[in-house]
Amino acid sequence: MLHKDEAIVLFKRAYGESDKIIRLFTLTSGKIAAIAKGASKSQKRFANTLEPFNHIRVEYFEKFGKGLVRIDNADIVETNSGIERSLRRASTAAFFTEFADRLTKDRERNIDLFHTLKEVLLFTKQRELSYMDILRYELKMLETLGYMPNFTACVYCGKNVKEEMKVCFSRERGGILCSACSSPLPHRVYSAGTIPGIARIGNNHHRSAFEVHDKEGLPYMQDTGDVKRFEREAREIMEGFISFHLDVEFKSYRILKSLMG
């Protein structure tokens, strides 16, 4: 059966002397693995279409709705041009494509995730993303995938926690703890404003990073020291949550983290 779809190229590798194995995140069919016959030899047929981070229109053939599909034709919608301008841009793009790749199953349709990935790759072509930008899209993807940490209510007793009291986060429980429940349970205590700040950034997910300023909604940040402390604590919260609950280590994130300082 022949399919026509939009896709973002997540990964490619050589296969044999002339073929390539490609992983695509498609608009209507989710993640699929594909083979491009003769792609290494025929520059005219695929040119640079199947490069990672490209947004393409693709025609592929599948026999039984599973396994490798065969790419018959592909055309560029949006190239990855611009991402190569710095290692940080390339690492950012690699992080988000790996994020989508590792946290999705084959052939699970997720239109919202497709559009989020498309948007963040487009934005990465424009400039080097700040940590606030990266956190915003990370939260947006987690919410889309149903993995969002709980920043609203105590994850043990279920009671809502006042903004100024949101200082205890349990990576093991996947969210905040109220003061009464925090005593017997493992958790870390963070600066006032950090957890509400992460939640506010996550609540801006309906707006693209083109529209949101780095510190919008974070009025408690008065100087560079406040920003650095927020970023350090936010990273610790998100890294601990993802590592514990999703059991995933992103190779690209290690490089990106070293570049962010």
Residue 78 sits in the same domain as residue 185 = no
Domain boundary among 50, 66, 82: 82
Those residues of the chain that have pLDDT short of 70 are 42-44, 65-66, 205-222
Residue 67 sits in the same domain as residue 169 = no
CATH number reported for the structural domain that contains residue 236 in this entry: 1.20.1440
Say if residue 236 is exposed, middle or buried (CB neighbours under 10 Å; 0-12, 13-18, 19+). middle
In a domain, 178, yes or no: yes
- The set of residues, in sequence order, having a beta carbon less than 8 Å from that of 206 and lying 6+ positions away, is none
Domain boundary among 48, 82, 116: 82
Residue 153 sits in the same domain as residue 75 = no
Residue 170 sits in the same domain as residue 254 = yes
Residue 55 sits in the same domain as residue 172 = no
Residue 76 sits in the same domain as residue 142 = no
CATH number reported for the structural domain that contains residue 32 in this entry: 2.40.50.140
In a domain, 112, yes or no: no
In a domain, 108, yes or no: no
Domain boundary among 82, 113, 140: 82
Residue 50 sits in the same domain as residue 165 = no
In a domain, 115, yes or no: no
Element (H, E) at 169: strand 168-170
Residue 249 sits in the same domain as residue 157 = yes
In a domain, 189, yes or no: yes
Q: Where are the beta strands (DSSP E) in 37-79?
A: 55-61, 69-78
Residue 46 sits in the same domain as residue 142 = no
Neighbours of 133 (CB within 10 A): 21
Domain count, the chain: 2
In a domain, 120, yes or no: no
Residue 9 sits in the same domain as residue 78 = yes
Among 104, 109, 135, which residue's Cα sits nearest to residue 248?
104
- Say what the pLDDT of residue 202 is: 86
Residue 150 sits in the same domain as residue 251 = yes
In a domain, 93, yes or no: no
- Say what the pLDDT of residue 18 is: 86
pLDDT in tens, 2-18: 899 999 999 999 998 88
Distance, in Å, from the CA atom of 118 to the CA atom of 170, rounded to the nearest integer, reads 32
The region, left, alpha or beta by phi > 0 then psi within -120 to 50, assigned to residue 58 is beta
**Domain coverage including residue 209:** 130-260
In a domain, 205, yes or no: yes
Residue 136 sits in the same domain as residue 240 = yes
